[in-house]
Amino acid sequence: MKPAKPTYLDLEKQLDQSQKTLTAIQQGQVDVIVGDDRHMQLLSLKQTIDMLRRNESNFHALADANLIGIGFGDSIGNVTYINDEMLRMTGYSRADAIAGRINWENCLAPENRPETGTWSERLVEQEVVSVQEWAFLRPDGGRTPVLGAASRITSPDGFLVIIALDHTQIRQAETRSWKSDQRLRMAANSLNIGIFEWDLTNDTAFWENDQMYHIFGRSRRLPPLRYSDFLEQALDFRDKKAFAHAFSNAQHPGNVFTFASRIHRPGSSTLSWIEITGKFYQNDSDLSLNMIGIAKDISEQKEYEQTIENINNLLEQRVRDRTAKIQHQTERLRVLTTKLGQVEQKERNRLAAVLHDHIQPLVVGARMQLWELYRKNDIGEAHKNAHKIEGVLEETLAELRSLTLDLSPSAILNDGLAGGVKWLVSYMKKKFAFTLKPRLEKPIDPISENICFLLFQCLKELLFNVVKHSGEDQATVSIERTQDQKIKIIVCDNGNGFDPDTFAQIQNDTASLGLFSIEERLKDIGGRMVIASAPGQGTTVTLTAPAGETDKEITPQEHRHKRRKGDKPAIRVRNTEDSIGILIVDDHKLLREGLMGLLQMEPDFEVVGEAADADTAIVLAEKLEPDVVIMDVNLGEKTGMDATRQILSKNPHIKVIALSMHSDKRVINAMYHAGASVFLNKTVASDKLIAKVRGCISDS
């Protein structure tokens, strides 16, 4: 069927469509004519050219922006294209580039050149040299550090392309950072503490200073110590659990951790103490938990602390011991005081018994004889009574002397401590049938009188203890003077012995108290007592005391003889010049009266005066000018020696007869030395005294 013939309207519509199509084509709104192969190829070529133009445009934009250096080269390295940034970095000018004076092989610093061949040859082999750090060697001799890469290309304009990024600022920053880091490390290494930084998440150690190697005794060749190494190898097993627990609990960014622990050093058998202090932080880049910290060797500090603790413990122990000892001694002193009171009372009782049983009956007997004397008219009987009275009085005096000797042996006054020991030998034998064997090392004198008496008393009490407790009937005593001028007395027996430690604990034992008393008295004068004993092995007691000062000491007797108040001097008028004038000097009124009565019975004697003290005696002697002065030794503050000396200095013709209870040789010698013509004991018979008075006058 033939197609229908188009109508005018159809034609008009086709025309309108054709016009529109034509307009569209004229206006360039049509891209392609469908079905035309030639146009299709042109269109494809056009698209390719457009793409290349766009790429070229982009490349030029990149090159001209000069953000990075871009250059091309031929097969022998000559530059075929170079942008401004690359020119700046290589130090060449555009004119050099145009004139072909730039070759890539010369631009690189010698250390960046291949060991063999050229860069171009190397690119032939491997096509690409990836990004690495280079330095361009500029014609002016300077260097430009760059990050560069090169690639072989196939291009009509070149063989290779090089790109480079100026690395100067980064390198400078790196250098500054490196120097800063170096300074920090140098400072860290100069410190006496270890510094470390651990990555705890990955269990690595970033770094540590030299002191860390020293503290942990590790070789410098080893890598830095990791936390796991520290925990497993260095830390002592006793601290491991506590450290790991504390460390685990503290692991939080911002927390500070401190721990003191013991560590082992390789090759060392001793433990060291360290203190680790660190702060946890989170790494911003990988969010790992890190710790930066310090380690201090505190071994010395710990040692000092231990020493101080030991000293404190020792001091506390000593204080406890001393306190216990003081308490013990206080208790013993209390017991001793009680005991002393008892002993004192016992001694009083003994003295009272002696006075009551011995002295008092004698005095009563003498008084009865006197009564009998009064009643009798017969001179012969009276004489017998008087003789009996004299006998009773002599017996009384003997008892008193015995008592006095018992209280304070005169042997000490005569022969010092050696004399005292001799007396003790006799006394012990007589009283206890005890044999004391003395060994006296001479010379031991001089010894202070006080020390001498004290040592004598101590020795006496010690020997009483030996008698009571040793079970032996003999002992030895030796006395010597040491090189440091001390008196050492050693008493030794082979008796029962005892344990000194146990013995000291017994507070109420008499022997213990006796020894304690001796020890305390010796301590008081700077001496000491040492006991060496064991059960069944006897006892050796050593007493040591300083010899003491011997000058101008007052004897106990001098202290006892104080001046008696109210004794006034008596002056009598001398009757005849032919008689012997006598001045009586004695602080006892009764004795003066007794002497006066005795002497006045003699027809050729005349008592011209009496004095109770030395000063009165001196005055009266000058005033009365007696022929004889009967002088007592102990007159109070001034002695008979002083009075004698002064009287004789003014009246040398006067004869002085010393009359004393003393039998001490030193006293006797002192009186003779003062000028006395005769020394008589007060116990001397009256006729002997009368004879001596006459004798000294006739001798003159």
Stretch that binds another protein, among 30-38, 340-348, 429-437, 538-546 (CB under 8 A): 30-38
Comparing CB distances to another protein, the nearer of 22 and 131 is 22
Number of residues binding to another protein, judged by CB under 8 A: 17
Stretch that binds another protein, among 18-26, 115-123, 581-589, 623-631 (CB under 8 A): 18-26
Burial class (CB in 10 A: 0-12, 13-18, 19+), 327: exposed
DSSP-derived letter for residue 296 is E
Nearest approach in angstroms of CB 11 to another protein is 16
Mapping DSSP to helix (H, G, I), strand (E, B) and coil, where does residue 130 land? strand
Strand 628-631 relative to strand 580-585, pairing: parallel
Residues 632, 589: Cα–Cα separation, whole Å: 12
AA identity, residue 582 = I
Rounded to 5 degrees, what are φ and ψ at 204? -130, 165
Stretch that binds another protein, among 13-21, 71-79, 397-405, 559-567 (CB under 8 A): 13-21
DSSP-derived letter for residue 497 is -
Residues 633, 557: Cα–Cα separation, whole Å: 10
Rounded to 5 degrees, what are φ and ψ at 447? -125, 140
Comparing CB distances to another protein, the nearer of 19 and 177 is 19
Comparing CB distances to another protein, the nearer of 29 and 502 is 29
Comparing CB distances to another protein, the nearer of 30 and 684 is 30
Nearest approach in angstroms of CB 53 to another protein is 15
Nearest approach in angstroms of CB 23 to another protein is 8
Stretch that binds another protein, among 28-36, 126-134, 546-554, 620-628 (CB under 8 A): 28-36
Which one among 11, 15, 24, 231 touches another protein, defined by CB under 8 A? 24
Which one among 10, 12, 15, 32 touches another protein, defined by CB under 8 A? 32
Tell me the C-alpha to C-alpha distance, in Å, between residue 255 and each of 198, 203, 246, 258: 15, 19, 12, 10
Q: Does 17 bind another protein (CB under 8 A)?
A: yes
Sheet strands side by side (includes 128-137):
79-82, 69-73, 158-166, 143-155, 128-137
Q: Does 25 bind another protein (CB under 8 A)?
A: yes
Stretch that binds another protein, among 21-29, 101-109, 159-167, 208-216 (CB under 8 A): 21-29
Count the Cβ atoms, other than its own, within 10 Å of residue 308. 10
Comparing CB distances to another protein, the nearer of 39 and 179 is 39
Q: Does 3 bind another protein (CB under 8 A)?
A: no
Strand 628-631 relative to strand 128-137, pairing: unpaired
Residue 551 · residue 448 · CB < 8 Å: no
Q: Cα 326–328–329 angle (5° rounding)?
A: 65
Which one among 1, 4, 9, 34 touches another protein, defined by CB under 8 A? 34
Q: Which residues, other chains included, contact 634 with Cβ-Cβ below 8 Å and sequence gap of 6+?
A: 557, 558, 560, 561, 587, 640, 660, 662
Q: For residue 620, which of 577, 650, 589, 653 has the smallest C-alpha distance?
A: 650
Comparing CB distances to another protein, the nearer of 23 and 313 is 23
Residue 629 · residue 656 · CB < 8 Å: yes
Comparing CB distances to another protein, the nearer of 32 and 340 is 32
Residue 463 · residue 428 · CB < 8 Å: yes
Comparing CB distances to another protein, the nearer of 32 and 76 is 32
Q: Does 483 bind another protein (CB under 8 A)?
A: no
Write the DSSP assignment of 379-411 as a string of letters. Answer: HHHHHHHHHHHHHHHHHHHHHHHHHHHHHS-HH
Stretch that binds another protein, among 34-42, 71-79, 141-149, 506-514 (CB under 8 A): 34-42
Q: Which residues, other chains included, contact 626 with Cβ-Cβ below 8 Å and sequence gap of 6+?
A: 581, 582, 583, 608, 609, 620, 654
Which one among 11, 15, 40, 530 touches another protein, defined by CB under 8 A? 40
Nearest approach in angstroms of CB 176 to another protein is 53
Stretch that binds another protein, among 25-33, 449-457, 510-518, 521-529 (CB under 8 A): 25-33
Which one among 28, 380, 603, 652 touches another protein, defined by CB under 8 A? 28
Which one among 10, 11, 16, 30 touches another protein, defined by CB under 8 A? 30
Residues 26, 24: Cα–Cα separation, whole Å: 5
Residues 605, 602: Cα–Cα separation, whole Å: 5
Stretch that binds another protein, among 16-24, 276-284, 316-324, 374-382 (CB under 8 A): 16-24
Residue 186 · residue 233 · CB < 8 Å: no
Stretch that binds another protein, among 26-34, 104-112, 197-205, 318-326 (CB under 8 A): 26-34
Tokens of 512: 């213990």
In this structure, the chain runs to a length of 700
Comparing CB distances to another protein, the nearer of 17 and 180 is 17
Rounded to 5 degrees, what are φ and ψ at 489? -115, 125
Nearest approach in angstroms of CB 37 to another protein is 10
Comparing CB distances to another protein, the nearer of 41 and 681 is 41
Which one among 35, 110, 141, 380 touches another protein, defined by CB under 8 A? 35
Comparing CB distances to another protein, the nearer of 48 and 337 is 48
Which one among 27, 130, 270, 698 touches another protein, defined by CB under 8 A? 27
Which one among 7, 29, 219, 269 touches another protein, defined by CB under 8 A? 29
AA identity, residue 203 = D
Which one among 11, 21, 301, 330 touches another protein, defined by CB under 8 A? 21
Strand 486-493 relative to strand 271-282, pairing: unpaired
Interaction with another protein in 647-686: which residues (CB under 8 A)? none
Stretch that binds another protein, among 14-22, 347-355, 447-455, 561-569 (CB under 8 A): 14-22
Nearest approach in angstroms of CB 34 to another protein is 5
Q: Does 33 bind another protein (CB under 8 A)?
A: yes
Comparing CB distances to another protein, the nearer of 3 and 35 is 35
Stretch that binds another protein, among 15-23, 187-195, 357-365, 376-384 (CB under 8 A): 15-23
Q: Does 20 bind another protein (CB under 8 A)?
A: yes
Q: For residue 658, which of 649, 650, 674 has the smallest C-alpha distance?
A: 674
Stretch that binds another protein, among 24-32, 56-64, 133-141, 180-188 (CB under 8 A): 24-32
Nearest approach in angstroms of CB 124 to another protein is 40
Residues 520, 529: Cα–Cα separation, whole Å: 9
Comparing CB distances to another protein, the nearer of 35 and 110 is 35
Residues 403, 560: Cα–Cα separation, whole Å: 16
Q: For residue 487, which of 459, 512, 517 has the smallest C-alpha distance?
A: 459
Count the Cβ atoms, other than its own, within 10 Å of residue 347. 11
Interaction with another protein in 228-247: which residues (CB under 8 A)? none
Q: Does 31 bind another protein (CB under 8 A)?
A: yes
Interaction with another protein in 41-100: which residues (CB under 8 A)? 43
Nearest approach in angstroms of CB 62 to another protein is 25
Can you give the binding site for another protein, defined by CB under 8 A? 17, 20-21, 23-25, 27-35, 40, 43
